[in-house]
Amino acid sequence: MAVEHKPTAVVHRGTKGGKTGCGTDTREHSSHWVSTSKSITCGKNGCS
């Protein structure tokens, strides 16, 4: 599963309402996050 951060268009590994692979909490500013099937573009440890 992947989630996209709309303001930056970066796609992270993880789910909306939880944490991304790199540790970002998607519950903070939840309107900025959307579930997606796009390829993961975050290069941080845990997502890539």
Q: pTM for the whole thing?
A: 0.92
Domain range summary for the chain, segments of one domain joined by +: 2-36
User: Which residues are registered as beta bridge partners of 3?
Assistant: 12, 35
Instruction: Report whether pLDDT(48) > 90.
Output: no
pLDDT tens digit sequence for 7-26: 999 999 999 999 999 999 99
C-alpha distance from residue 25 to each of 4, 7, 19, 28, 32 (Å) = 13, 15, 5, 6, 11
